Amino acid sequence: MRRWSTHIFLMTLLVYGCGEEPGQGRNDLMPEALSPLGDVTWATWADRDSARQANFPVLLYLYSRRSEWCRQMSTLCFTDTLLVQDIRRGTLPISIDVDRRPDLAERFGMGSWPSVLFLTSEGQPITGSEYMDKEDLARLLRRVRVHFDDDRRREDLRREKGFLQARLDRVARKSRMITMVSTGFFEEALDSIRSTAVKGTSPGAEGLMLLAQYGRGQGRSELVAVASRVVDRLILSPKGEGDGLGYHLAPLTPDGTIVDSERNLPVNAQLISVLLLLAAGSDSLKYLAKARSLGHDLLEGYLDDRDSLLVAGFTGSPNPERAPGRDPTYFASWNALAVTGFLDLYEHLGDPMFLSVSRSLMRSILREMRRSDGLIRRHPDQDPHIPLFLEDQALVARALLDLHKATNEIEYLELSVELGLLILDLFRTNDGALRDRYPESSNAISPVVDRLVPSGNGTAVQVLSRLHFHFPDAGYNLEAGAVLGGLVFTDLIGYCGGLARGIFLHGQAAGSIGAGN
């Protein structure tokens, strides 16, 4: 019965999916996630020069619209009259939506959301923390102001800045240059991803897919088993799903009894692909059924039929009586991940519904978020002063290649080539790696670690390596090698699944790494 209802829902999408008619889908009945900013009058990142003019420290608040912890901190801290006054009088408060500014989330995030940092008026970190109650934030605010105003305490301020900078640098620590792609280096990355999974921590969807894909192709069943155990902890948890909105963000305890109850699109879209790669094993029916069910969840729970795009996700709450709030934002890269997931379902199930919805999603991405120059905005209403992001270009290009594979339609391949060339022209650094944003180049980084989505550099290397198989004489694999050669690797190899999959494809194209299915 559920499958039939989804087909009816899809027909509504295909008829009204261009935004010409309002839909009355499930999302219309859900409360929207409120922006967790309280009563503070927040400036934007573009306003940060005001702090230098006023000689104020910057209070940087990084938040997610779907995070219950951000909502709680807002209620406790940013609605307290006295604390709001102190913030206004003594700082320039700047709020950052981490989904809309992934570059700033990467640069300033303390490890989870919310993250609170105090910066000098020149933008250098002073001190910071993750979630705080109002007493802790008030104490930290007073301490920053005392150190900021009293010349005699400037040495203490410099020392604390050093401690915080060291903490931020640990995430992006430079360990060694990638000077060439070798089987040895790929095996090292693969082993680090496996070790991360063995410890009970998910290495991310791309890492799990690599374990399943390479393990099956090379007859290394232990890699597939490790990936299966990580996935089973999620899909078999009694708190994993149940309301048709997919799986929770992450378990907060090893036994899964306490979870981060946010549900979001990228985690669930990528999980479809992971489940389908595992479906080739002995538990194929279990994983295939879970993937099919999750695909229907995304269509029924996330799809906004007014715009033919999938919303960002839903808030979590420790109160089971409170309905999950809906975050109605559309993100290009997140919808591109859904295109890939639905196409994987089409390949495994042969159901044309999933191909139809993939086409419709891509049409909407290109209609709503593609600029006249061919580049992809992060979301439809993006401020023109905010840069464009590498991950959006790369993931849309990869989804276009997936559509070409499924349909053999040349238009999708041509659009992917266009995006690939734009990435190389506009995002490349002098070292050959790709910066995270364009055109803003100050303090740009070249991300290799997967967060909610695969890293931009990792996905771009995948795209370039796949283009090589279509155009073997065009030099795309050389360009992929140049990107890899310019990257500075981190000590977080176990969370670089997107890059490892890129190295795998690049090695296949170069003939240095054996095939996996």
CATH number of the domain at 65, please. Answer: 3.40.30.10
The answer to whether position 151 is within a domain reads yes
Strand (E) or helix (H) holding 224: helix 221-235
Q: Count of domains in the chain? A: 1
The answer to whether position 69 is within a domain reads yes
Say what the pLDDT of residue 236 is.
78
The answer to whether position 120 is within a domain reads yes
Say what the pLDDT of residue 253 is.
45
Peptide bond into 102 cis (omega under 30): no
Distances (CA, A) of 158 to 141, 165, 469: 16, 10, 53
The answer to whether position 385 is within a domain reads no
The answer to whether position 111 is within a domain reads yes
Which residues of the chain register pLDDT less than 70? 1-31, 33-35, 149-184, 237-242, 249-260, 282, 318, 320, 512-517
Say what the pLDDT of residue 174 is.
41
Q: How far, in Å, CA of 48 to CA of 366, rounded?
A: 33
The answer to whether position 86 is within a domain reads yes
Task: List, edge to edge, every strand of the sheet that includes 313-314.
Answer: 263-264, 313-314, 326-327
What's the whole-model pTM score? 0.89
CB 443 within 8 A of CB 396: no
- Give the range of the structural domain holding residue 163, as residue numbers without chain letter: 45-171
Say what the pLDDT of residue 178 is.
47
Say what the pLDDT of residue 238 is.
53
CB 279 within 8 A of CB 287: yes
The answer to whether position 160 is within a domain reads yes
The answer to whether position 357 is within a domain reads no
